[in-house]
Chains A and B, each alone.
Chain A
Amino acid sequence: MDFNDNQKEADFRVKVREFLDKNAKKRASSKSTSANAAAPETLRGKEAQIKALQDAKIWQAKKAEAGFAGILWPKEFGGLGGTPIEQVIYQQEELNYFVHSGYFEIGIGMLGPTMMVWGKDEDKVKYLPKMLNGEEIWCQLFSEPSAGSDLAGIKMKAEKDGDEWVLNGQKVWTSGAHFADYGMIVARSDPSALKHKGLTYFFLDMKTPGIEVKPIEQISGSSNFNEVFFNDVRIPDSQRLGNEGDGWKVSLTTLMNERLAVGDPAGLDFDEIFEITRDLEVEDGLAINNSEVRQKMADWYVQSRGLKYTKYRSITALSKGQTPGPELSISKLVTASKMQDVSSYALDLMDMGGYVLDEQNAILNNVFQNGLLFSTAMRIAGGTDEVLRNIIAERVLGLPQDTREDKIKPFNELPSGK
């Protein structure tokens, strides 16, 4: 048992560090990726956002040239043809530098691999290299107002008209739709079929007439997501991925490629609250000397480190060339609630001043106040706590699914409520 790289991994890490040192600015500590070091796409002000995007594109081009943009991509599409453990090593190292690759993650991580499996050869050649080097950004148009947790319940209409399809409806929670060049979309082509059978999958140019993107302002005041409206949007049948009616199958390829979250979770955690308890005073002195505080801190410590060591277990499997077990499925479920609890408790420790959001006056530049707001989104986005528990129960533990009417009745005969 040890935490060291094997020789091959160590060699790769050296190469990665050489590249990063030469091309990017190092952070003072990896901890400076706190909740407040907001992702650049959430920056307020249009100019700041445009600048951040330009910088990211320049960075992505350098990464692609060095082969680090698509570590898992095959060489024929400009990738490195590397291994998952190499991908992990790169991610770990990049976290220590002031660079941002978030804009490209959905494309390279999920949509590119979908194109590789389901796309035509000429499309792969046309789109994949530009996706990889950041020239063109892709977004994923899946969720809808009436289809969140129940993703296959989408209503976006896709009607065939000669060699074209006409799309009508609305998507929501689309990250990056406001700066994306292309998107992948799943829509309902046959409402009289079973829910999972009546879907078809396409890719499209986000500049196609009839598409309208509106940012969603979140509880925290920032906008990471969009609503996307489709009004008679016409796309050629050649942009269909997979057969008509196979949209769910293609979607699963996209979703299966969600990347292993290996870094320390962004945002506040045990270390931040430990820091403030050694500063703040409560009724009987410093908070850290209060036994109730100490008991709570211990709970968060074992959750935080338990997750870290769980990642180590998964990384070990990757290092041995194995597929990690399902253990990492607990990650977001634990992280999100911990962030909410830690934030709320930190504000309680601040007592009457706890609700002050003002950066100059709030402790640790308001990470806890922001955490209180942001954690509500974290418990929902990317699978709600409840859906994640169902997934663990059914896929990991093998418990039976509940009776599902939507598996036996045509989609248009299902009750749909509001």
Chain B
Amino acid sequence: MNFDFSDDQKLLQEQARKFLTDKCSRKLVRSVLDNNNNQYSKELWQQVVDMGWTATAIPEEYGGLGLGMLELCVIAEELGRSLAPIPFSSSIYIFAEFLKAYGSDEQKKQYLPKIASGEFIGSFAFPETKGSPRANNLNSKVENNKLSGKKLPVSDGQVADVLIVAANSDNNQNHNSLSLYIVETNQDGVKEKLLDTLDPTRPSSEIEFNDASCSPLGEKGEGWSMIENILNRAAVLFAFEQVGGAQVALDEAKKYSIERYAFGKPIGSFQALKHKMADMYVKNELAKSNAYYGAWALSTDSMELPVAAAGARVSATDAFHYASKENIQIHGGVGFTWEYDCHLFYRRSKLLSLNLGSIRKWKENLISNLEKRNIT
């Protein structure tokens, strides 16, 4: 049994933790939170690019380092711990993975080296309205190779140089008409507007397309299945970010409860609080173990990926939500002030839990994939 990361991967994680402790202070996170014009920390982004993290899992022939997904998992955990205000997930977990899986050789050559070198930031434009994206509420369409429609919210939409856009490829609007397109944002037909969101450290935009130039990605009409596959892959990486965030939320609750005194003793000696923190630990360990299994499935391209990814996603979402809300509770009054950092984790937790689709949808994915597995 070797259900663990390798020594090299652990070393990478340790370096990443040191690096981010140094370069991604809470002050830096807040510089994005407090300033609406800062959509991400350009400074940190450049340093992360210089470390080679954006190139990690991109093949060498396309300008990457050609390492595996496990390396990306340990980096994800550290980015989650540090609340890094950079478009890493949009560009690397999602855009690059779409290109790697479905891009033509030409498309890969065109975009992956730029993503690896940080010259381009990529993202994914999928939902258009309130509620889950469905065939009947996705109205964007491509006619004569021109894309029209409105997407909202698009993570990192304001700063993305290139997008994967889900749109209907013929005059129909049904399950078989959804296709994917690559769209560069530096053109007249693309207009972005920054949205006010729950977590301004990872902003989102509304993007309007008016006869924008685009090129198809993958098979026409295969949009839903491609999206499902890439969201499964991204779910594992998101789970590591969530696990990282949940661990720090617990650490900070613990630290505060030891330092803060009430009724003549540290509040961390009260069982009501101890039991809360024990429950955080339980959820965090379950989430970590489920995330490890997701990492294994992701790195081996296992048939188990849909089940493993959904399991990791559900468990990690639950853990981060619980840890971030109870961290505020343990802090008492100061917990819900702007000054204390608790809300940064609470915001990030909800953002991450919604970004790839809500927990109830992933629970549904989990059970339907278990049913499929049971039939086969």
Contact = CB atoms under 8 A, between A and B. Distances in A.
Interface of A: 1-6, 9, 274, 288, 291, 294-295, 297-299, 301-303, 305-310, 312-313, 315-317, 319-320, 327, 330, 333-334, 386, 388-390, 392-394, 396-403
B314 A302 contact: yes
Interface residues of B, number: 49
**Chain B binding site: helix, strand, loop or mixed by DSSP?**
helix
Interface of B: 1-5, 70, 250, 254, 257-258, 265-266, 268-271, 273-275, 277-279, 281-282, 285-290, 292-293, 295-296, 299-300, 310-311, 314-315, 318, 360, 362-364, 366-367, 370-371
A390 B281 contact: no
Given A301-B311, A316-B3, 5 more contacts: A1-B296, A309-B3, A312-B289, A316-B4, A397-B277
14 contacts: A1-B296, A1-B299, A5-B1, A294-B363, A298-B362, A298-B366, A306-B289, A307-B286, A309-B3, A312-B292, A327-B288, A330-B285, A400-B265, A402-B271
A353 B344 CA distance: 49
B363 A295 contact: yes
B367 A327 contact: no
Contacts of B277: 393, 397, 399
A402 B270 contact: yes
A312 B310 CA distance: 19
B76 to A, nearest CB: 15
A307 B287 CA distance: 10
Contacts of B300: 1
A9 B266 CA distance: 47
A253 B254 CA distance: 30
B275 A398 contact: no
B362 to A, nearest CB: 8
B306 to A, nearest CB: 13
Contacts of B273: 399
A55 to B, nearest CB: 32
Which among B3, B265, B364 has the greatest number of chain A C-beta atoms within 10 A? B3
Contact of B311 (A305, A319, A398): A305
A4 B2 contact: yes
B1 A3 contact: yes
Contacts of B5: 1
Closest CB pairs A-B (n = 7): A306-B286, A298-B363, A393-B274, A309-B289, A389-B278, A312-B3, A392-B278
Which among A3, A312, A315 has the greatest number of chain B C-beta atoms within 10 A? A312
Given A393-B278, A402-B271, A319 B2 contact: yes
Contacts of A398: 254
Contact of A386 (B275, B287, B290): B275
A298 B367 contact: yes
A4 B296 CA distance: 13
